[in-house]
Homo-oligomer: A and B are copies of this chain.
């Protein structure tokens, strides 16, 4: 850094209006702040401010990777089609894999991920267990021809990714490499200012997870998750099987009640003055083999599509015509006197529930005090409900919270999937050739920037955490032609620079209102406003972007005070 940066020397074309195509805050604000521009569908240029933030994210990643002994390198983007054929992914990948032929008609793919390349790289060079473990990674543009690219940097067709691959001699080694990466990923998220949860995507047979997705909490996220503030448990609602707070119906003799117009759970609960959780919901569907089922779930829970596919195959919910065809009464279905040929099943959470409030298979009637075992039995138990806020943490029992999440990273134990198909082996201590135990680890670097903006913005614009801010401090002279104001602004900027702070001066001949608006939009964490009035008292105004807090600080002290604060924020 030779001198402080100046706004007049910065290519950051801001937009006054919200771009019509931008639905998400990150997409909208990164466009408005002049940080990104679309060049074609799903293809974005990172302008200088965004690039500075991305370089900081990359630096954090590099530092954490160095900490766990992972080595950075770079393989070509162009990957030989032959490698993809060896792994079986040339056909399996489908149209998302961007393919081309070179001038000699040889087929290549633009790497969407590089398991094949790295496996190929080491397969003839890592020959002995003595050379293991090795973890290699790169930071590189990746390509996926998304069917519907959208949300700016969230789901693009070319994006920056950190991808890493570990090679170990045995499962224990792989698990250590995997856990090292998992730890580093959690630290990376924290250091770039992201509140992110490690969501277990897959659990191994011997306990412990074999794949975790790092989800940055944000309303804009595509994934729904439940998590426990107490013990740190987190899971995708589609994957989680959490104990629910089951509410029983009242005990008593079976009683058929007239419940006119109560065709929904909400209506029924209101009519009976009981919580929805005390009722039971009946869902009628036809499974992948064409067999009709009624599936009962707690009244306050939904059936989850992914889980239901596990249970029923390529199922569909019954249409009104199908309900009639099978003799089922919409809104009033129950387990007692189910029409013949229709199977009964229920979610596992109801297995120990004795007293049900449930439809009577008679239009306008429900049963109360229906007792499982006495009045009806369930033929089959399935795991089909979506976990939700208030369900109990399966680890510690505390109430779960629900949130949406943006997947910013994933760690994965691959095992020998690629090393076996591609013949990548090493000699163990007995000289026996064995396939590598591999892991793969990815971070969406450009998506991470978008996630940071989703978590750090308000109605005025972006509010960057210091760790990834394009500049840490903006000095705002209210009048660059004023011979009192300008010298103070440059003095403060030079002192901040000398103290190692990244500072930019808004040296434009613009009205204060324009400068304030752009400063808030671009989201530099601290603003030092230099105006005539405060300077008369020997002061400048310090504004904290995140809180809006403003204080007058002595010109003589602002650089030392602010640099100490910035340096502490970085850590």
- Could you say which of A117-125, A201-209, A321-329, A456-464 contacts chain B? A117-125
A residues contacting the other copy or chain, number (CB 8 A): 55
- Could you say which of A98-106, A174-182, A540-548 contacts chain B? A98-106
Residue pair B157, A121 in contact (C-beta under 8 Å): no
State A46–B54 Cα separation when bound (angstroms).
22
Determine if A67 is an interface residue (Cβ-Cβ < 8 Å).
Answer: yes
Determine if A155 is an interface residue (Cβ-Cβ < 8 Å).
Answer: no
State A45–B78 Cα separation when bound (angstroms).
11
Residue pair B76, A39 in contact (C-beta under 8 Å): yes
- Could you say which of A5-13, A19-27, A234-242, A307-315 contacts chain B? A5-13
Determine if A158 is an interface residue (Cβ-Cβ < 8 Å).
Answer: yes
Contact A43:B74 (CB < 8 A) given known A103-B95, A134-B11: no
- Residues of the B chain whose Cβ atoms lie less than 8 Å from the Cβ of A121: 37, 39, 45
Residue pair B102, A73 in contact (C-beta under 8 Å): no
CB-nearest residue of chain B to A508? B130
Residue pair A71, B48 in contact (C-beta under 8 Å): yes
Determine if A432 is an interface residue (Cβ-Cβ < 8 Å).
Answer: no
Q: Which of B2, B74, B147 contacts A103 (CB 8 A)?
A: B147
Residue pair B100, A73 in contact (C-beta under 8 Å): no
A130-155 interface bits toward B, Cβ cutoff 8 Å, 1 = contact, 0 = none = 00001010001101010100000000
CB-nearest residue of chain B to A51? B73
- Residues of the B chain whose Cβ atoms lie less than 8 Å from the Cβ of A43: 76, 78, 80
Residue pair A117, B67 in contact (C-beta under 8 Å): no
Residue pair B75, A45 in contact (C-beta under 8 Å): yes
Contact A76:B158 (CB < 8 A) given known A1-B66, A9-B69, A99-B100: yes
- Residues of the B chain whose Cβ atoms lie less than 8 Å from the Cβ of A100: 98-100, 110
| Total copies of this chain within the assembly | 2
Tell me the smallest distance from the CB of A220 to a CB of chain B, in Å.
23
Interface residues of A in 53-106 (CB under 8 A from B): 54, 66-67, 69, 71-80, 95, 98-100, 102-103, 106
- Residues of the B chain whose Cβ atoms lie less than 8 Å from the Cβ of A40: 76, 78, 80, 106, 108
Tell me the smallest distance from the CB of A525 to a CB of chain B, in Å.
21
State A140–B11 Cα separation when bound (angstroms).
19
Q: Which of B80, B99, B140 contacts A39 (CB 8 A)?
A: B80
A13-44 interface bits toward B, Cβ cutoff 8 Å, 1 = contact, 0 = none = 10000000000000000000000010110011
State A98–B71 Cα separation when bound (angstroms).
31
Contact A72:B48 (CB < 8 A) given known A40-B80, A95-B103: yes
Determine if A184 is an interface residue (Cβ-Cβ < 8 Å).
Answer: no
State A47–B74 Cα separation when bound (angstroms).
7
State A481–B432 Cα separation when bound (angstroms).
28
Residue pair B125, A75 in contact (C-beta under 8 Å): no
State A54–B140 Cα separation when bound (angstroms).
14
State A295–B13 Cα separation when bound (angstroms).
60
State A293–B453 Cα separation when bound (angstroms).
72
Residue pair B117, A45 in contact (C-beta under 8 Å): yes
State A108–B140 Cα separation when bound (angstroms).
19
Q: A residues engaging B (CB < 8 A)?
A: 1-2, 9-11, 13, 37, 39-40, 43-48, 50-51, 54, 66-67, 69, 71-80, 95, 98-100, 102-103, 106, 108, 110, 117, 120-122, 125-126, 134, 136, 140-141, 143, 145, 147, 157-158
Pull 9 A–B residue pairs with CB atoms less than 8 Å apart, ordered by A. Answer: A1-B66, A2-B66, A9-B71, A39-B79, A39-B121, A45-B75, A48-B136, A98-B102, A110-B110
Q: Beyond the given A11-B134, A47-B73, could you list 16 further A-B residue pairs with CB under 8 A, ordered by the A residue number?
A: A2-B67, A13-B125, A13-B126, A37-B121, A39-B75, A44-B76, A45-B76, A45-B121, A46-B73, A48-B72, A48-B73, A51-B73, A78-B143, A98-B100, A99-B100, A102-B145
